[in-house]
Amino acid sequence: MKKTSTRLADGRELLYYDSRDDAVRDWRALRDRRPLAPAAVTAAADIRRDPLLGDAVAIASHRQDRTYHPPAGECPLCPSHGGRLTEIPAPDYEVVVFENRFPSLSGEAGRCEVVCFTSDHDASFASLSEERAGLVLAAWTDRTAELGALPQAEQVFCFENRGAEIGVTLGHPHGQIYAYPFVTPRTALMLRSTARHLAATGRNLFDDVVGRELAERTRVVLEGEHWVAFVPYAAHWPYEVHLYPRRRVPDLPALDEPARTEFPQIYLELLKRFDRIFGEGAPPTPYVSAWHQAPFTGPGAGGTASKEAANEEAANKEAVDRREFGLHLELFTIRRTSGKLKFLAGSESGMSVFINDVPPETAAERLREVASK
């Protein structure tokens, strides 16, 4: 892999990731010719803390002006051609990462990046080749390491939102990466559960979760030599799959080469199955695909990404070594059946208590039925 760094006209960083080490990027094609105001002037976010829940909320009013469902001919994530200038100056690319023009987090409040998986506007992640999916994994890994080393970054979150039903405003195949200046509430809950389980049993919670699914097997969807995918026992969403490496690691940079090599095969198959859940002719399945990684804070952080452990988050949860965390990907859809969505109503939105219409065992069986032939 070769990484080439440049700057957009407003000062934001843009990175080209090419699969070949000898790839050459013409500097003339890397120059952004748009007349843009400096990014620091146009984007600012304010982090506020909810005094009752302790949750952090990002106030980002500038996002009201972000690009919203442009026609394909005006997509800002396609390559620049002729006189049409986009966020990506080059006339073609494999994988590109750049700082979001309308970030939810910026400056001391964190950082938001966009990841374009392909220059093909009409493609999807599921249609990528294994080589390209592997390059995306390499980009996620590189960005996790780079962003985790920022002094303000406590946690790095790589994810893809796919489909208008999810709230996606740009149809081009892409995802995002957030570098949060705090440990997110969901991760804090996982760390708390991990610490309590370790204290009570002496065992790792993530290992026990995976071990239970492999023992019971009713919810296992797909297995490889280095990865296992299953519908969780208490799935929140109608169709939800968790993908774990068999060898527990805290984050993407810690994956070994065999796991990296196998990942594209497993993940692309999962995405293809998601598109078959609701039958032939159904529209593409909307989904969220989210990597859960250990935060770069607290006991065991170490290295260049180490942060001050005695922060507010650490004070409010049981301390656990980050190496006890289990990297995993959560893939889920809000579609519960053909033509019907799972809405977060009173119980879910008001009290965070989910009610799932599809039994996890039924969802797993359906995902096994739609395996590639």
Kindly report, residue by residue over 27-45, the tens digit of the pLDDT: 777 899 999 988 765 567 7
Residues 141 and 201 placed together within one structural domain of the fold: no
Lowest mean pLDDT among 6-20, 54-68, 173-187: 54-68
- In sequence order, what are the residues at sequence separation of 6 or more whose Cβ sits closer than 8 angstroms to the Cβ of residue 140? 115, 158, 177, 252, 291
Is 81 catalytic? The answer is no
User: 141 and 190: one domain?
Assistant: no
**Which contiguous run of DSSP H or E holds residue 264?**
helix 257-274
Whether residues 95 and 171 share a domain: the answer is yes
Domain limit, last residue, from 126, 155, 180: 180
Q: Are residues 134 and 92 in the same domain?
A: yes
CA–CA distance, 371 with 269 (Å, rounded to integer): 8
H or E segment and range at residue 222: strand 220-223
Sheet-wide strand order for 13-18: 2-7, 13-18, 95-99, 111-116, 174-180, 155-162, 287-292, 328-333, 239-245, 227-230, 220-223
Annotated active-site residue in 62, 172, 174, 236: 174
Are 167 and 203 part of one and the same domain?
no
37 and 124 inside one domain? yes
- Supply the range of the domain harboring residue 167: 2-180
* Number of domains comprising the chain: 2
Span 136-189, pLDDT tens digits:
999 999 999 999 999 999 999 999 999 999 989 899 999 999 999 999 999 999
- The C-alpha torsion from 162 through 207 and 205 to 353, rounded to 10°, is 30
> Which helix or strand (DSSP H or E) is residue 135 part of?
helix 130-148
pTM of the model: 0.92
CATH number of the domain bearing residue 40: 3.30.428.10
> pLDDT tens digits, residue range 243-300?
999 999 999 999 999 999 999 999 999 999 999 999 988 999 999 999 999 999 766 6
Query: Do 206 and 74 have their domain in common?
Result: no
